[in-house]
Chains A and B, each alone.
Chain A
Amino acid sequence: EVQLVESGGGLVKPGGSLRLSCAASGFSFSFYSLNWVRQAPGKGLEWVSSIGISNNYIYYADSVQGRFTISRDNAKNSLYLQMNSLRAEDTAVYYCARGATSGMSVPFDYWGQGTLVTVSS
């Protein structure tokens, strides 16, 4: 069974940093692209970042470019999101989502349950 479990969320002050993790199991981790998607309270879904199978392709939404860094460790079956210079508008549930194949032009077929990040003073 495919499982994605996010961790690392919490309360952080504006300008602060946080690192999210996503632990994967139940599939061959290194063969799939991975993504972060967020959802602000009561709002819609927003794509944040994507990474290819070997850190070769990395893309960000304009809203986080230069502040967030996505990475993966295939040996640990883990995905990460380093978030710096956090703003109130980054407050959201952050989901880890698997790409349907190793490619980048694929939808997200499995999702974690999300971790809440709250940016507030």
Chain B
Amino acid sequence: DIQMTQSPSTLSASVGDRVTITCRASQSISNWLAWYQQKPGKAPKLLIYKASSLETGVPSRFSGSGSETEFTLTISSLQPDDFATYYCLHYNSYSKTFGQGTKVAIK
């Protein structure tokens, strides 16, 4: 099975900071990767799919990049609404695997 390793597990940042979260796959997954944002007590929200495609309605300060085994989610200028936990997801036809999550906290 493909393992997804996310880092860091937590990060502290201030409003306006540029934030980068990394997700590494244990083997090549092409670009079958999505990013989600989850706030406490709420369902996850899709931000990015196919590694770099922005979901409709998601602010342009979110971007995704990477392919094969290394991927990043970047928030160009952190906003108060962005403090949350972020997950990567590898999806293929027969199995899906989430990363462990990255909590973005207020510094």
Question: Which residues of A are interface residues toward B (Cβ below 8 A)?
Answer: 35, 44-47, 50, 57, 59, 61-62, 95, 100, 103-109, 111-114
Instruction: Specify the chain A residue showing the minimal Cβ separation from B98.
Output: A45
Within 8 A of A (CB), among B54-107: 55, 87, 89, 91-101
| Consensus secondary structure, chain A interface | loop
Residues A47 and B101 in contact in the complex (CB < 8 Å), given A108-B46, A109-B55, A114-B43: no
**Could you jot down 7 A-B contacts, CB within 8 Å?**
A59-B95, A95-B43, A104-B92, A107-B46, A108-B44, A109-B55, A112-B43
Q: How far is the CB of B7 from chain A (nearest CB, A)?
A: 14
Q: Which residues of B contact A108 (CB under 8 A)?
A: 34, 44, 46, 89
**Total interface residues in chain B, CB < 8 Å:** 25
Compute how far the CA of A41 lies from the CA of B20 in the bound complex, rounded to whole angstroms: 26
Other-chain residue from A46, A105, A111, A113 in contact with B93 (beta carbon distance below 8 A): A105
A45 touches B44 (CB 8 A): yes
Compute how far the CA of A57 lies from the CA of B94 in the bound complex, rounded to whole angstroms: 9
Compute how far the CA of A105 lies from the CA of B30 in the bound complex, rounded to whole angstroms: 12
